[in-house]
Chains A and B, each alone.
Chain A
Amino acid sequence: MKTAVIVFPGSNCDRDAQVALREATGQDPTMVWHKDGTIPEGTDLVMVPGGFSYGDYLRCGAVAANSPVISQLRAHAERGGYILGVCNGFQILCETGLLPGALIRNAGLEFVCRPEVLKIESTNTAFTSAYTGGEITIPIAHHDGNYVADEETLNALESEGRVAFRYVDNPNGSARDIAGVISENGRVLGMMPHPERAIGGHEGGTDGRGMFESLLSAA
């Protein structure tokens, strides 16, 4: 599987994404600098990493969504390529319109970093097929992870099986406890929890491995 990681100014989980992809695929992802980088032809999966793109002094992800690299990301999506947006990456995907909804300030108004139990809503997706269902624990770390969308959108997401994960103990006020959503074509996932911080050997645990294993078999 060929992978790439987009690096915006202020991305800070780009290295974490790089390590996770390297461990999962056995080869280094291409690191794509937002200004003049190129997503290589034949890339199967693009990761949009966490962080504070452009400082996120404006609405989170709003500036990054207008960065030069985004046209390539859109083209990759239109080709049916896989995209995984984590945390700030999820915010950016919502800002670009590649995923529905938006992420606003946590209901508790504070940054929250803690292990979070997630309920896997479906194992019939490219991102979750390696899981056997049930619950996994993945760390979160965000200030703006409160997922919102209009009722119609939320109903559609649920009826189309596009809610990937729900929080068991909602940490941020997200509508219907939604922690991650999938695009209509099933190829784009945005989620606030960090699977790349749960690949083993440290405090984040190992429950994120399943996602990379799922993608490996899908691509």
Chain B
Amino acid sequence: MTDRSAIITAMQAEQDETSASEHGINAEEWDRLVTRLGRQPNLVELGIYSVMWSEHCSYKSSRRHLSKFPTKNKHVIQGPGENAGVIDIGDGQAAIFKMESHNHPSYIEPYQGAATGVGGILRDVFTMGARPIALVNALRFGDPSHPKTRSLVAGVVAGIGGYGNCVGVPTVAGETEFHSGYNGNILVNAMAVGLADQDKIFYARGATPGNPIFYVGSKTGRDGIHGATMASAEFSEGDEDNRPTVQVGDPFTEKLLIEACLELMATDAIQAIQDMGAAGLTSSSVEMADSGGENGEGIGVEMDLDKVPQRETGMSAYEIMLSESQERMLMVLYPDKIDLAKKIFDKYDLDAEVIGMTTDSGRMVLKQFGETVCDIPVAPLAEDAPNYDRPWVEPNKRAPLDMDSIPEPEDYGEVLLKLMSCPDMASKRWIWQQYDRHVMGDTVDSSQSQGNAAIVRIHGTNKALAITSDCTPRYVAADPYEGGKQIVAEAYRNLSAVGAKPIAITDNLNFGNPEKPETMGYIVKAIEGMAEACGTLDFPVVSGNVSLYNETDGIAIPPTPVVGGVGLIEDLDKVATLKGAQEGDVLIAIADGDPTPGLGASLYLREIHGREEGPPPLVNLDKEKGVADFTRSLIEDGLLNAVHDVSDGGYMCAATELCLASGIGANLTFPASGSLLGYFVEHQGSYMVAVSPDQVDEVLTRAKAAGIYAGKQGDLGGDAMVLNQDVINLPLAEIRKAHEDWLPTYMSKVD
């Protein structure tokens, strides 16, 4: 279609319900659209409605439930609704962060899907004026034995590394798990954290009429068209044919874009700014128009699409508006700053063009080849998007696990080896060794110590941010409400375990098809559980993303709401990690003291007996906070040499991980009463800490005074993990080998 008149005819052609249906707009939504518009849309208009009303952009299934999240505390400067959340970290500075999924593209084209996921989340952060300082990713793959898993792992890891390493932002933390429930839908959730001065934060809102709309970055091509729509539908066999809709990333251009934008942001040229992410030019211009005006009353936009820098010839208005080409930004400038802005982008050899003006019409008007190809009111695109109250059913409660049905293992050493080398627990060194964790020179602790949370110094200060990502899908599948609580609590725990004060979270809610009441029930209850934990722990949600329709051939992924937590360390001299334990230290368990909840939904039950049964361990949120505060105070006072939170595999695995990181064995004694299986129970609100012998009394005394359980578990020393003399007696080297070898061995196999 290089003939201009043919393009215009196609663009202006009136569309009907059939065409709408092909765009993913159902009958009810079509009626709403036609009513609001007062006529049937043309092709460009339909395309714009379809992406703006897609699940991905409108959150139409989750919006009413997301509003249950607490979103404020005394640190929050900006909660959900902007490109990313913003928190006050003192000294006039702010941390800006968000997590986002790139699940569907990563399954279809793992390298580019994952790479552009990193690029997209970085743009969300530097759009707001922050220099990105850390990347984190939470990955979930199918069963290792599934024929696609290995190549997906290889592609996703290479893609994340290829992008993050080049752009020069350290990838400091993450998690990687495997489960057959992800065979048809992997999860790639990326989080970026940035640093900005509070008086230099930029928003999408606030544009006023009569100002130039400025396009910067890469040229627009045909890649990624309908990406947002793809992310809003189930997969079925043969969807690999969607490959051409996956965008291609260019981290080099992103790096230039970061530098150029930050340079421009140091001036007073920008009135409003929005990155071009999902639904590209459409959503960025609509969002800026809808939130524009001095009081947010909304403004109009008029753009000449011929001015949009284009990578290919003969592109139609429809393609230009729906393209998801990467590394592009849209901004509204003050009129007298155009030359200044152009000069900065010219320095970096980036395209930069004025493509239109903001207006007071409240309408989106688009022109191509001098003809009007779109003229619709802005408000309905954003504000009248469907907001469904999807039917949902309460998930069934699981029956309590009958502990008598679990036989004592013959060899606890074998059990420990098996757990430490199972896919979810095994070292992910093969992955994080491919990520540059040190660029920018402020990484104090990263995946390298296989610890609780990464620690990244705030440049030029002795303060730091602690960053973690967490989700235990086993628990959410077992009980979404309790599992939802646990995820938030675990993030809180991980940050506290390094000595940080937890401040806020971003979330990435990954679920199946919300039109199924069973799935919707998990979404609702998980959100409610998370919300309760956020409230009790004063740990609000400041940004996030929802990824639904993670289903293939009708089979949904395990419910996977991931949390990215950020905490503040005021003094880098007062932190703890896994690796500081010394020979002769005493291992002490610090816990909420609640009774043993059993092995329901535990890693032990799944890995040793192949059973995914029983209710998850319960979190006592009130006590969680108390135990965390207590542990943090011990770190601040320098009483702890090493700290690890208790999670997968219970006390035994927590102690083993701490010993591996510190390179010292341990001699543990489990109290005589009760089954040794208790040592694998996944107690919540618990920490394993290493204390110098001369500080033990002080720690125990303080615990007693605070009403918190603290019990000696054994001593550090030697080069073996020993439990109750001979129940387990394994050389640390043997455990390390099993722990380290699983992933590289798996990845080096050829199918």
Contacts and interface: CB of A to CB of B under 8 A. Distances in A.
Contacts of B256: 9-10
Interface residues of A, number: 34
A192 to B, nearest CB: 13
Contacts of A115: 448
B168 A51 contact: yes
A118 B442 CA distance: 22
Most buried by A among B253, B347, B440, B444: B440
A16 B441 CA distance: 6
Interface in B133-188: 158, 161-162, 165-168
Nearest to A196: B441
Contacts of A52: 165-166, 168, 251-252, 255
Interface stretch (B84-92, B356-364, B428-436): B428-436
Interface in A124-158: 139, 141, 143
Nearest to A202: B444
Most buried by B among A9, A110, A194, A202: A202
A201 B463 CA distance: 12
B382 interface: no
Contacts of B253: 55
B441 A19 contact: yes
A113 interface: yes
Nearest to B456: A202
B252 A15 contact: no
A190 to B, nearest CB: 19
A66 to B, nearest CB: 15
A15 B441 CA distance: 8
B446 interface: yes
Given A15-B441, A197-B441, A112 B168 contact: no
Contact of B165 (A54, A141, A197): A141
B746 interface: no
Interface in B403-433: 432-433
B623 interface: no
Nearest to A20: B441
Contacts of A51: 168
Given A55-B250, A111-B161, A203 B438 contact: yes
Given A9-B348, A196-B441, A202-B441, A54 B436 contact: no
B223 to A, nearest CB: 17
B460 to A, nearest CB: 9
A111 B165 contact: yes
B435 A113 contact: yes
A16 B165 contact: no
Nearest to A17: B441
Given A9-B256, A55-B251, A202-B443, A141 B438 contact: yes
B736 interface: no
B577 to A, nearest CB: 10
B168 to A, nearest CB: 3
B437 to A, nearest CB: 6
Interface in B441-489: 441-446, 448, 457
A201 B165 CA distance: 22
Contact of B252 (A35, A54, A197): A54
Contact of A12 (B162, B255, B437, B457): B255
A114 B433 CA distance: 6
Most buried by A among B256, B438, B457: B438
Contacts of B432: 113
Nearest to B161: A111
Interface in A179-219: 194, 196-197, 199, 201-204
A207 B251 CA distance: 31
Contacts, number: 96
Contacts of A203: 437-438, 443-446, 448
Contacts of A35: 347
A197 B440 CA distance: 8
A98 B415 CA distance: 57
A202 B158 CA distance: 26
A56 B168 CA distance: 13
Nearest to A143: B165
A12 B168 contact: yes
B349 interface: yes
A141 B457 contact: no
Contacts of A111: 161-162, 165, 434-436
B133 to A, nearest CB: 11
A194 B438 contact: yes
A210 to B, nearest CB: 17
B445 A13 contact: no
Nearest to A194: B438
A6 to B, nearest CB: 15
B330 to A, nearest CB: 22
A55 B437 contact: no
Contacts of B7: none
B738 interface: no
Nearest to A13: B439
A139 B436 CA distance: 10
Nearest to B172: A203
Contacts of B439: 12-13, 16, 50, 141, 197
A201 B457 CA distance: 9
Contacts of A196: 441
Contacts of B166: 10, 12, 52, 55-56
Nearest to A114: B433
Contacts of A112: 433-434
Interface string A47-65: 0001110111100000000
Given A10-B255, A55-B251, A111-B161, A197 B167 contact: no
Contacts of A197: 438-439, 441
A12 to B, nearest CB: 3
Nearest to B437: A113
Interface in A65-117: 110-115
Contacts of A141: 165, 436-439
Most buried by A among B161, B167, B255: B255
B163 to A, nearest CB: 11
A175 B457 CA distance: 37
Interface in A1-44: 9-10, 12-13, 15-16, 19-20, 33, 35
B434 A113 contact: yes
A56 B167 CA distance: 12
Contacts of B165: 52, 111, 113, 141, 143
Contact of B434 (A13, A54, A110, A201): A110
Contacts of A12: 166-168, 255, 439
Interface in B316-352: 347-349
B440 A15 contact: yes
Nearest to A10: B252
A196 B446 CA distance: 18
Nearest to A16: B441
A139 B168 contact: no
Given A201-B457, A203-B448, A16 B440 contact: yes
B254 to A, nearest CB: 10
Nearest to A15: B440
Interface in B64-123: none
Given A52-B251, A110-B434, A113-B438, 4 more contacts: A10-B252, A12-B439, A15-B440, A111-B435
Nearest first, the 10 A-B pairs at minimum CB distance are A12-B168, A55-B252, A16-B441, A141-B436, A52-B166, A111-B434, A197-B438, A203-B443, A202-B444, A113-B436
25 contacts: A9-B348, A9-B349, A10-B166, A10-B252, A10-B256, A12-B255, A13-B439, A16-B439, A20-B441, A52-B166, A52-B168, A52-B255, A111-B434, A112-B433, A113-B165, A113-B432, A113-B438, A114-B448, A141-B436, A194-B438, A197-B441, A201-B572, A202-B441, A202-B443, A203-B443
Interface of B: 158, 161-162, 165-168, 250-253, 255-256, 347-349, 432-446, 448, 457, 572
Interface of A: 9-10, 12-13, 15-16, 19-20, 33, 35, 50-52, 54-57, 110-115, 139, 141, 143, 194, 196-197, 199, 201-204
